[in-house]
Amino acid sequence: MGAKLSASCRRGRSEKGTEMLKLCSCNVTDQVQASVQCRFPGSPGPFAFRRRAPVSVSFSPSSRLGLTPVQAVVSTQKTEVAGVVKSGSGSLADRLRLGSLAEDGLSYKEKYIVRCYEVGINKTATIETLANLLQEVGSNHAQSVGFSTDGFATTPTMRKLHLIWVTARMHIEIYKYPAWSDVVEIETWCQSEGRIGTRRDWILKDAATGELIGRATGKWVMMNHDTRRLQKVSDEVKEELLVHFPQEPRLAFPEKDNRSLKKILKLEDPAEYSRLALTPRRADLDMNHHVNYVTYIGWVLESMPQEIIDTHELASITLDYRRECLQNDVVDSLTSTEPTVSELNGTNGSAVVRQDDADCPMFLHLLRVSCDGQEINRGRTEWRKKPAR
């Protein structure tokens, strides 16, 4: 009797287990495909560790058990672009970003939606918003070719030698500011700039119309993170970089004598306008615990005269970065109207302000350490009348 019950129980458990397997297998295709997609992201670039190839899963019915056994088939399809291997769907962030490398692998494009909290008093994106987007697309470009994932675009050799990039100069021109919910497409690329630096350029367009709405260029120099001294770009680092640089110079500002090249005169005291004792917030610090370069833009604008802010919008800004700013530094922001040499009255070399510059005023800026006057940043801005909206 006991043996019969035991056999019956085993048959019941076996049949119940079979039914459970049948129920579990009904949607196994979707479950396994989702699992495979999450576990096999594509390789971000030639300098990153190689990852497994994407796996596609196929299923065939089995007449003996009524189940659906899983058969994994490895796909080796890849697309090579300028030495960068693209495979799989990438990380979740990669799939959500509206960006990718160009076909030649030498530039990167990404689209961004202007959020309501990125819009200022003019009902358009602020210059800080656009500068942050330039920083974001540049970092995404670096990651897409396999450089560091910490936002600093360092190569494997740079990380091994404790080398970092620091901003030396930024020049931004905005021809039309995007409004809330507008979509901006930004293209960026890098190239060599002197013995110790690299140059990055950007083109900004209205994604809906293709209209050019801005351009920018910046220079970064190499510094030893431990000694804080500038360092020449070594041949080993150059080899890691050059594969991603255009062979011929490609400039966002190809025009001769363009404003991005203009030397910034030092602003002398006493300044016409000032905002004293500015202190970095914790949110102003980057991952290196230095004040982020976009923060300097806000500090420069803090000392602008209110009558210009009310009637004009920023057309261009150039910043020369001369000293690191740390969390405990107290900063003064100084601003004065830029003198221009008049063609009529400037024969003796004197500088005078022309009346025809009233609609497009230009200013010089200085950020300095409050306690000792050390120069942190030297700047120049140009303004234009606000458009009717």
Burial class from Cβ neighbours inside 10 Å (0-12, 13-18, 19+) for residue 189 reads buried
How far is residue 142 CA from its own chain's centroid?
9
Phi, psi of 150 (to 5 degrees): -100, 5
Catalytically annotated residue among 122, 225, 258, 288: 288
* Coil, strand or helix at 84: strand
> What is the distance between the alpha carbons of residues 315 and 306, in angstroms, rounded to a whole number?
16
Catalytically annotated residue among 171, 290, 312, 365: 290
Active site residue 312: no
Contacts of 209 (CB under 8 A, 6+ apart): none
Burial class from Cβ neighbours inside 10 Å (0-12, 13-18, 19+) for residue 142 reads buried
Active site residue 325: yes
Residue pair 13/23 in contact (Cβ under 8 Å)? The answer is no
User: What is the residue whose two structure tokens read 């009717």?
Assistant: 388
Closest CA to 220 of 240, 194, 242: 194
> What is the distance between the alpha carbons of residues 16 and 298, in angstroms, rounded to a whole number?
69
Active site residue 244: no
Torsion sign (Cα): 7, 10, 12, 15: negative
User: What is the residue whose two structure tokens read 């363009």?
Assistant: 258
Catalytically annotated residue among 312, 325, 365, 377: 325
The overall longest dimension of the chain from CA atoms, in Å, is 123
Residue pair 336/364 in contact (Cβ under 8 Å)? The answer is yes
For the chain, the 3-state helix, strand and coil shares in percent, each to the nearest 5, are 25, 30, 45
Q: Which residues are catalytic?
A: 288, 290, 325
